[in-house]
Structure formats: C-alpha cells, structure tokens
Structure 1
C-alpha cells in the first residue's frame, strides 16, 4: 500500500494561531504512520512553509500547494485543515485548495464562510426551525441605540464579535452602562458585532462527523466555567470543568445530538464540526457551530472521541479517508 501524503495545515492569521499550532501538532503525532506521511505546514502572515523535524522551513509553492523535501517535490494528496479562524475556518483556504485541486478535511468554502459568520449562520438555521437566542446586530460606524438593543435582547446579554473564535472579545453585560464598552471591545476583533439574550442553563457541546455517508454525533460535553462564561481563560487556562458525557438526561442528550446532526445535514458540512448549545427548560438553544474545532490535548472533540472508545489515530484516519474518497 502506497502511503498518502497528508499536509497538516496549522497557524492562521487570527488571535487563535497558537491554539491551531497545538491542534496541528496533535494531528501530526496521531496520524497513522502506516498509512500516511504527515507534513506540518505553517500558514502564517509572514509566509506559508513546510516545517521539517529539524525546524528548517521550505516555502509552499502556491500554484499547487507543493513543497520541497530532501530534494523531492511533494504535492499532498490531501490537506488536514487545523486552522482556527482566518484563513482556514472562514472559507478562504478551502476556496484556494479547491482551485488548485487539493481536497481538505473540513467543510467546503461556502459552509466554512457561513458558519464562521455567526449572524448569517443563525439567520439560515432559524429558517430550518433550530431554536436560537434573540439577537441584535451592530456594524461599526452605525448609530448604537442602547434602549432599542436592551428592549430586543434584555439583560443580561452577551456581546460578541461576529467572526472570531476562542471567545476573544466576548463580554457578558448585566447593566446598560456596560453595553457600549462591551461593543467597543468586540469591535477590536471584528467590525460586525452580535448581541444575544443570555440563556440560563447548562452549556453542552457536541462533535459531529461523517463516515461513509452516515452523519454521527459524538458524546456530549458539559461546560462548567469558573468564570462568568466559557471564555478564553476557561477554555485554555483551566478555569473550567468539562464533563464528558454531560450530566443531562438521556432524553436531553438525544435531543442535542439530533439537533447537532440536523445542523450538520442542513448546512451540508464535511469533516468534524462542533456545535454548542444552552439547554434552557429542557430545550436546546443553538449558540454556534465550529467547522474546525480544536484538536489539541485540551480540546473537547478529542475527549469526546476517546469517550466512544475510539483512538485519535482511528478518528483522524476516518477524516482523511472520507476526504480522499
């Protein structure tokens, strides 16, 4: 059996690049060495490079995403996309790879762009009967009417950059005076801001992937943050407890898994995604979906995979085989 060449794309141009490098390193470590050659590819603002084991960098030829290794030109059979944020989670890398004819493991360019844009994604999913919080949208440079916003979403509410991840720029607002500073903070990450009613109930996240055409939901994870919400510190610096499987009823688990699979199907996703919900009065409310969820040691999807009894090596093989086929 000829080993396939898998380029593991990591890094990116956003605040999330360090987390992406951790996800990429994990994929390189666990990809099946019997089946694949794994190549760490750093996609950074200063350039795109294949980074060898001894740290030397070879530039990527953007005409076909090839690179030189030991005097040979390698053109990958597929790209394992581990970039969180732009350009790997917002559709830009996906569109480029499609143009140069290299398949990649995550959602297509349109699906990536749609799910990365929280408000557009909510607008589409509401049309398919998915429950979402009340929301209000603000663009940079437009007049902000505090009273109108609070009338629509109430207090407390969440103020979020529309296109950012890892909870960068997110605030929980409990009184009207804190609203404008929270919007200003979100504008530092994005020129579009989303303001949503703060739902009350457990936060539950679930990974979904496709295998041989079947959409499969992973076990659920309950997020118990020591902070006001699941912010950057809670996600990556240990200020939260992540309980897999979530401490919810069997009925609630099935509801959330069914909802996550429906979202995956409705949006025509590929690869692994992770959808986040709040369960309020027994009903799951959709928060967002991530088309390139974290795969680092601290990330939720790897914990859910292990809960099923599957190894990460098996899981990553499924994602690559599904892409190649």
Structure 2
C-alpha cells in the first residue's frame, strides 16, 4: 500500500521561495510506486495542501490531517524542505514528535542547535573543531567597534545568527562599514555573529544516512565571483561549484573525516551540508545546514549524483530511514 507523504515547503523566513523550489523537486521525483505525495505549504497565515489544479485545502493542525472530497487523509511521514523557521530551527520537528509523525530531518534539539550558528560553534569547539575567531552581539548591546575589530580583525564577516541563504551577511573591509553591516544583520535576527576572515579554499560537504550508514558524499569546491558565497553566488549563477573538489587525496580525507565527526558529535540524522574553509592548510568549520537545497542544481543533489545516487533513490531512502528508526 502506498504511503502518504506530506512534502513541507514555504516557511516564515526570507527563504520561502527557495524552499518551494526544493519542495517541488521532491514532489516531481518522489517514487509514485511507493508514495502518494502531497504538497503542503507552511505559511504564517495558514497551512494548506495545494492539489494539481492549484486548489488550496486547509490542514488540521490538531493532528496534521487533510480532508479531500469528504475523506480524511493522514500522513505516514513528513518530508521537510523548509529552509529557515519553522522547518530548520526545530519548531516543526518538535511538533511532529508530539503528534508522532516521522519526519525526514534531524531531531528538534539538533535542528535548534545547528540553526543557531553561535551555539553550534560553541558546542563543537571543545571537541577540537577549528573555527574562525568570533564575536557575539545581541540587539541592544553597546557596539564597541574597536573591541570587535581588535578581536576579529579586518576584513571580517558580519552575519545574522539564525538565517540562511546568506541573508543578513556582509563582508566588512573597513571600520566605517561595520555599523551598516550590523544594522543589516539585525534585519534578519536579533542576534549576530562577527567572524574573522579565513582565506583559503571553501568546500561544501554533504553527509547523509544512506542504506543505514552515515555516508559522506563527494566534496564540492565553491569558487565565487563575488566577495563571498552570497545569495547571488548561490542562486543567480555568480559562482562555480566543482564536484569533486580539486583537493589532494590527503585534504579530501581530512575534510571528509571532519565532516563525519561533526555529524556524529551533533547526533545528526537525515541530510546535512556543512561548509568548511581550508585556512593555513586545515579545514575550519563555518556552519551546518540541516535542510539543504534540493533542486536539481543544488549542491547536495549534485554530490549525490556524483556518488551514483539518483534523486528518486535519495528521497526514498531518507523517507524510509525516518520511518524505521
């Protein structure tokens, strides 16, 4: 019997449209012999299913059910493709845990931890994971530019602490640019992180659960035309993504082992994509994404393809894994 799968897309953040792209790719490639997929939009105003005639049908949040033509539909699992809140920060993970519906991403604590860049870095550092030097600010804190730059130096990066797709991120080259960058970051979040600049090769490493094992996918090297891997570079063609990355065998093993170690330290499940920069010959952890982009052109699907895993296989495997933990 086919399983009903709710494909969650949308969300409450600036990444709404990007999430919808990912969700529609999952809908397109999901195995119709095994699953009956439903596109479920999660918005601040309402949660609803959109059918193939583009008609909206409300979701009952009490049990996450759907009524179509007088019949109640319940779901065997939820496929989470929401970038940002509430799909990447633990809120939906906790909701589905309470109503006992399996979902494809990590558990709620791991989602909240990894979505908070500051907390994630602070958790990993005691394990010897190298990171940039960082400085934390909360909205309303006194901004001491000299103290900040004395610690992180120039250039540096100012980032919204809880945001994705490089929203609220600036590369700061002069002290004069610092305050506007902080103001920009505060538009996305009331917490920010300011990091030292790491020069070196940037790579993205996907780690997934595949056939019951934690599996590191082929590494992607990021070569951007812009100052950093920003929104334009990620989504508007202003970067080159080279898979497999042009690394030595030794560096490839080094960053693969590190990515697997981070995945295991954080007790991850499902898909993850982490960013690293080789600085002074060593990979430094930047951040982890637990609901990475899933369009055909996105990094994780590119990596899976290089590993010989089709989108159909990739999506089926993560559904089955979440249902039989």
Q: How does the TM-score come out when normalised to structure 2? A: 0.98
Residues 155-207 of structure 1 show CA distances to partners (whole Å, capped at 9, x for unaligned) of 11000000000000100011111111111110111110100001000110011
Alpha-carbon distance in structure 1 between the residues aligned to 2:146 and 2:56: 54
- Aligned residue pairs total 324
Specify the alignment match of 1:210 in structure 2. 209
Contact 1:236 1:298 in 2 (8 A): no
Specify the alignment match of 2:279 in structure 1. 280
Alpha-carbon distance in structure 2 between the residues aligned to 1:81 and 1:254: 30
1:144 matches 2:134: no
Once the two structures are superposed, the pairs formed by residues 237-316 of structure 1 within 5 Å of their partners are: 237-316=236-315
Alpha-carbon distance in structure 1 between the residues aligned to 2:211 and 2:316: 12
Residues 76-118 of structure 1 show CA distances to partners (whole Å, capped at 9, x for unaligned) of 1000000000000000011111111111000110000000000
Alpha-carbon distance in structure 1 between the residues aligned to 2:133 and 2:230: 21
Alpha-carbon distance in structure 2 between the residues aligned to 1:130 and 1:69: 50
Alpha-carbon distance in structure 2 between the residues aligned to 1:166 and 1:297: 17
SS at match of 2:32: coil
Alpha-carbon distance in structure 2 between the residues aligned to 1:318 and 1:69: 28
Q: Shift of residue 281 of structure 1?
A: 2.3
Alpha-carbon distance in structure 2 between the residues aligned to 1:168 and 1:323: 30
Specify the alignment match of 2:132 in structure 1. 133
In the alignment, structure 2 segments of 5+ residues that lack a partner are none
Q: Shift of residue 5 of structure 1?
A: 0.8
1:12 matches 2:11: yes
Contact 1:92 1:109 in 2 (8 A): yes
| Cα RMSD for the two superposed structures | 0.8
Q: Shift of residue 298 of structure 1?
A: 2.6
Alpha-carbon distance in structure 1 between the residues aligned to 2:69 and 2:24: 21
1:173 matches 2:178: no
Q: Detail structure 1 runs of 4+ shifted over 4 Å in the superposition.
A: none
Contact 1:156 1:175 in 2 (8 A): yes
SS at match of 1:149: helix
Alpha-carbon distance in structure 2 between the residues aligned to 1:118 and 1:298: 25
Q: Shift of residue 211 of structure 1?
A: 2.9
Q: Shift of residue 212 of structure 1?
A: 4.6
Q: Shift of residue 214 of structure 1?
A: 1.8
SS at match of 1:216: strand
Specify the alignment match of 1:233 in structure 2. 232
Alpha-carbon distance in structure 2 between the residues aligned to 1:235 and 1:70: 41
Q: How does the TM-score come out when normalised to structure 1? A: 0.98
SS at match of 1:163: coil
Alpha-carbon distance in structure 2 between the residues aligned to 1:128 and 1:6: 38
SS at match of 2:217: strand
Specify the alignment match of 1:89 in structure 2. 88
Residues 204-231 of structure 1 show CA distances to partners (whole Å, capped at 9, x for unaligned) of 0011011354211000001111000000
Alpha-carbon distance in structure 2 between the residues aligned to 1:212 and 1:229: 35
Alpha-carbon distance in structure 1 between the residues aligned to 2:13 and 2:49: 20
Q: Shift of residue 292 of structure 1?
A: 0.5
Specify the alignment match of 2:162 in structure 1. 163
In the alignment, structure 1 segments of 5+ residues that lack a partner are none
Specify the alignment match of 2:101 in structure 1. 102
Alpha-carbon distance in structure 2 between the residues aligned to 1:43 and 1:170: 25
SS at match of 2:127: coil
